[in-house]
Structures are given as structure tokens and as C-alpha cells.
Amino acid sequence: MSQVNTLVITGYGTNCHKESAHAAKLCGSDSADVVFFSDLRAGRVKLANYNFLIFPGGFLDGDDLGAAQAAALRWRYMASGDGALILDQLKSFFEDGGLILGICNGFQLLAKLGLLPALGGRYFERTISLSNNDSARFEDRWVWLKSNPESPCVFTKGIDRLYLPVRHGEGKVVFEDDAAMAAVTDAGLVALQYVHPETGDPTQEYPYNPNGSPLGIAGLTDPSGRILGLMPHPEAFNHPTNHPNWTRGASDPLGISLIEAGIRHLKDS
């Protein structure tokens, strides 16, 4: 059984790093280190020492210029202490079989780095964005999700429906055109969708779809299935008492089952 070493990136406005590291440990990760991006920049930490990378939620750079836009430029162009591009570390990490999870602000970062949806294997080529919610306000609520059984995503294997919290102002997935959206859906890269709680069908209805994402898209994966970006927060549902109806005996599966599935994939590989 393989060892899982998780790296959670923080700094520049990230605020969900501790919950993310805690969730990884609960789900069986052998280690879960919270590391500032500046540690990568200084060469004190190497991505090669890890096989699970989490970009957690927060408000990178105050969402100036658009959510995670400045952070994407930082990852793309900054070099470490030895002069090597940090982006090259990220490329090698993924090529060596590492898993990447982007939650909320982390999803925005993956989109703007071009790691999602990477249609046709075009990694680091930006083709989507995440824009302002249709409600024109910050949304903080719990939503129902369903996974796509046709998706290659390793994080959603064996998972049907989930109930998770969202808290974001820019969560609407935007494609460059309808053809791009159709190509992503045809490739099975829609990993998670917002659904109506009564019918279980993907929905555009507010507030069940909190941001207006087309096709109810809540999360996307890449062709390998080893990258997942989603707007809801699985790390925030890590114990039954996190559930808003826990005192009424609610028994929905924990949100961290997504993280657990990813770690199980690494341990079994």
C-alpha cells in the first residue's frame, strides 16, 4: 500500500488550509503539511516530496483582478531559489501521478492556470473561467450535489449524492462558447452537478444552483481524472455535527468522502 503525503498550500488570503489538512488526515493521509507559497518560492519545500496537492478555499489576493487571477500568474511565472520555475515543479508533480484537488478559490486557480478542464490533454491552456454569481451576491448556503458516474474522476468514485456548503461570490463556470461546453460534457469532465433536492436532477433553479453555472456544474475534472476542482467545500463537512440538521438525526455522507476517495486511489496505486 502506497504512502500518501498531502501538501496544502496557503498564503495570500487562503483561509481554509487548516480544515483541508485536518480532513486529509482524517481520511488516511500519512502526512498533511500546510505550507506557504513563499516556502516553495524560497526552495524550502519541494512538490516532489508529496503526491496529493490541495489548493484550499479563501480569497487569494483579495480576489483583485478576478478570483485567483493574480495567484495563477504567480504560479506560472515565479521561480524558486535555484532559478527553476515553480510551474515546472507542478508539471512534474502531475506527470509523476500526483493528485490535485482545488476547492472554491482553489478551483478558480485551477481554471485560470489551465489545469481544468484540459480538454484533449491541453494542460496549462486556459479555456474556462469562473464568474460572478447570477445572484450578484456572495452565496453562503448548503446545496445538494450528484456525481457523474461516467466521469473519470477518482475523487467521485463510489459516490452518488452529497450535501455540502458553498461560500463564494464567483462560482459560475463560463465557457468560451457552446461548443466548448458540449465538448467538456461529451468527454465526461463534468464531475459534480447541483441538483434539485426533490427530483435529484441537475438544476438551474436558484438557490439550489447558487451561482447559475450552466448544466448545474459544481465541479470539473480533467481527462486523467486525477484533478478535481469544485466550488462546494468538502473539508467543511468533516464530522456529523457540521451538518445544519445534525440535531434532527441527519445522516448524509460526510463531504470528506471525496477526499477519502482520492487518498484511497493513491494508496491502492
**What's the pLDDT tens digit per position in 140-199?**
999 999 999 999 999 999 999 999 999 999 999 999 999 999 999 999 999 999 999 999
- Of residues 17, 104, 139, 265, which has the active-site annotation? 104
Specify the pLDDT at position 65. Answer: 86
- pLDDT(1) > 90: no
Q: CA-CA distance, 121 to 196, in Å (whole number)?
A: 32
Average pLDDT over residues 233-237: 98
What is the value of pTM for the model shown? 0.97
Q: Mean pLDDT across the stretch 71-99?
A: 94
**Spatial contact of 227 and 248, defined as CB atoms under 8 Å apart:** no
Segment 60-67 mean pLDDT:
90
198 noted as active-site residue: no
| Dist CA 190 CA 117 (whole Å) | 9
Give residue for cell 512534474: 92
Catalytic residue among 168, 233, 243, 265: 233
**List of residues 6+ apart from 252 with CB closer than 8 A:** 162, 163, 243
pLDDT at 87: 97
Q: Which of 168, 235, 260, 265 is catalytic?
A: 235
DSSP E strands in 123-242: the ranges are: 128-131, 139-147, 161-168, 172-175, 190-194, 217-221, 227-230
**233: annotated active-site residue:** yes
The mean pLDDT value of the chain amounts to 96
Cα 197 off chain centre by: 23
Q: With 90 as the cut, is the pLDDT of residue 269 above it?
A: no
Q: What percent of the chain has pLDDT over 90?
A: 94
Q: How far apart (Å, rounded) are the C-alpha atoms in residues 267 and 119?
A: 27
Does residue 170 carry a catalytic annotation? no
CATH of domain 5-268: 3.40.50.880
